Amino acid sequence: MAVKQDKSGKWLVQIDRQGIPRVRRSFPDRKSAERFEKDYLLAHQQKPASGDRRSLLELINLWYRYHGVNLSDGKRRRAILEQMAIDLGNPAAADLTPERFLEYRYHQTTRHVKPPSAKTLNNRLGYLDAVYRQLKKLKIIDYFSPLLEMDKIRLHEHQSSYLSDDQITQLFDALKGYRNESVWWIAQICIRTGARWGETEKLKRRQVHNGKLTFEFTKSKKVRSVPLDALFYDALVKFIGFKQPEDRIFSDSITAFNRAVKKAGIKLPRGQATHILRHSFASYFIMNGGNILVLQKILGHSDIKMTMRYAHLAPDHLSDAVKFNPLSDDRIGGKLAVENAKNRQ
């Protein structure tokens, strides 16, 4: 059983694995629960079977055959894992140590070529750790992940960027001039619904119905429906015309969008591109008083922590800091501070 929250809000850890003493405990927060689980498993970690000398590449291939092939990004992840194994010297999988991985990470960040970001390195650690975890679960190996106790690099949190009203106008003015009409419609849907570009670009006729768009094959692997305002929906249906239910509505248009952004003179943060439309929808949704839980459902986030990135944009976010600070206007200290400020003028 993974770390799980019960109805009372406490986080439960239940470990019931062969060869390990059973344990069940509750904690006030998720971080404490995960830390206990990790420490407990490490304390009772079994040594690898002496005869298991399969290489890291062999384990990666087994992981892909029995698990990775079923993931939406399985091929991409396997390619990343195989390159990691080569960079690590393809050791016997049981011999990999945290120190060896740290050496790999150090060389990745100090090489002369453009180094990978901290987030990318964290993803790689997670991918490799998941290989061991999954194969242990399938009883293909009989030892725990040697990376079980490794911490990821702490990342600085950045505010998500969004388009200003003027930039939105400039962008859609630039999009109007394209022979490829799909690019305008895709961008409109993304900024009106918070959908990802790929989800929208591949929409089929049957996914447009009853004033809503239904998105399938999403990142969270869940189907979600988002309504459109009536005027835009009617115009979209007219644009679609007489397409069959399985026909795609739009053509591939990401290149045209990137050109339009450049034409509009909009400079986007690195790595955002079409995602700026999704960020803009979410940002304006919260700034205009939308509910964060509703936003989570619209965006299709499986974890509320992803949606909470936009919470600071709410009109009343942390407004109690003004009301209850020691120098607030309705307290003695605040009044004295205001009077002193006036006297200094």
Residue numbers annotated as active site: 196, 219, 275, 278, 301, 310
CA distance 34 to 345: 55
Query: In 10 A of CB 275, how many CB atoms?
Result: 16
CA distance 264 to 251: 22
Tell me the H-state helices in the chain.
30-43, 56-66, 74-87, 98-110, 118-137, 165-176, 182-193, 197-201, 230-240, 254-263, 275-287, 292-299, 304-307, 320-324, 332-344
Identify the H or E element spanning 212. strand 212-215
What is the residue-wise DSSP string for 98-133?
HHHHHHHHHHHHHSSS-PPPHHHHHHHHHHHHHHHH
**Structure tokens of 197?**
């570009």
Q: Classify 292 as helix, strand or coil.
A: helix
Looking at the DSSP bridge assignments, the partners of residue 27 are 11
CA distance 268 to 64: 36
- Strands 11-15, 208-209: pairing is unpaired
* Of residues 45, 58, 55, the one with CA closest to residue 146: 45
Q: Given CA atoms 93, 99, 105, 109 in this order, what sign does their dihedral have?
A: negative
Q: Given CA atoms 180, 182, 184, 187 in this order, what sign does their dihedral have?
A: negative
CA distance 40 to 17: 12
